[in-house]
Chains A and B, each alone.
Chain A
Amino acid sequence: MADPMRIRAALAGDETTVRVLMSHPMETGTRKDAAGATIPAHFIKDVEATHNGKSVLKAMFSGSVSQNPFLSFKFKGAAKGDKVTVKWTDNKGASRTDEATIA
């Protein structure tokens, strides 16, 4: 199981800004290790953020997203104390779900 995500969700006016820091190696599959062997690709493919069961953002990543991916987005219609849930799935089928409370 990968390390937990760090999620910050802050309400300002009517917009909630969500910032997510995922913990993942994000290997492209083109890098080589010291012995010259190709390191297999291992990266997050899908990210979905939901608020009250409603999807607020879906993202598809490729290997060219940086290690420990950062994602920031804004959405409307949330209130303080609501929960935002973020789930990622990688190309090996592993996934992780974390949630944060809107402050």
Chain B
Amino acid sequence: MKATRRDAIKTTGAFATLVSLGIITQAQANAAVTHDSFAVKSVEDALKAIGGQAASSDQVSVVSPDIAENGAVVPVGATSKLANTTEIYLIVEKNPTPLSAGFMIPAGTVADVQTRLKMGQSTNVIAIVKADGKLYSATKETKVTLGGCGG
């Protein structure tokens, strides 16, 4: 993208207006998850990219095995019983890029997703759920007997 000074002023101006009108809150404005967010190297940065700290909630659950034999293919899922769940993120704490997958849940879709992730070593798996604009999380430990990020 060619970013001229004029464009920069225009877009920041428009954004500032939206924020000041309260159409989007500051937190939401900062929490635009892009593909760059998936390249961050630490859990803290991943949380920052998603939009801050998440409160632990028993309505959110991580579905992953206690012991995974093969770290290259670990079935991981997340479910949320919170109403208006709009986003689900899966974070593998000890991976080089912890933020592994994000799911946008439109109305009508059940907040219950499953996929398969790679894990380099035994680690905590964190599910972050965004419901009604707030963040909730759940954590589960998975032990890996054979890492999946080596080579």
Say whether A and B bind each other.
yes
Residue of B nearest to A61 (CB): B101
* 0 or 1 for each of A27-65: is its CB under 8 Å from B? (1 = yes): 010111100000100000100000000111111111111
Residues of B within 8 Å of A, CB-based: how many?
A: 36
| Chain A: interface residue total (CB-CB under 8 A) | 31
Stretch at the interface among A2-10, A68-76, A94-102: A68-76
Q: Tell me whether A75 and B110 are in contact (CB under 8 A).
A: yes
Q: Given A30, A39, A60, A72, which contacts B101 in the complex, CB threshold below 8 Å?
A: A60
Query: Which of chain A's residues have a CB closer than 8 A to the CB of B103?
Result: 57-60, 73
Q: Which of B1-34 contact A (CB under 8 A)?
A: 33
Give the dominant DSSP class at A's interface: strand
Contact of B114 among A33, A60, A63, A73 (CB under 8 A): A73
Q: Does B112 contact A (CB under 8 A)?
A: yes
Segment from B53-61, B91-99, B126-134 that makes contact with A: B91-99
Are A57's CB and B39's CB within 8 A? no
- Given A62-B101, A64-B149, A76-B110, output 15 extra A-B contacts at Cβ < 8 Å: A15-B110, A30-B96, A33-B151, A56-B108, A57-B103, A57-B104, A59-B104, A64-B119, A66-B72, A66-B148, A69-B116, A70-B116, A71-B114, A75-B108, A75-B110
Could you pull out 11 A-B pairs where Cβ atoms are within 8 angstroms? Answer: A30-B149, A56-B106, A56-B109, A59-B101, A59-B104, A62-B99, A64-B100, A66-B74, A66-B148, A71-B114, A71-B115
The 8 closest A-B pairs by CB, nearest first: A31-B151, A62-B38, A58-B104, A74-B110, A66-B116, A72-B114, A75-B109, A64-B100
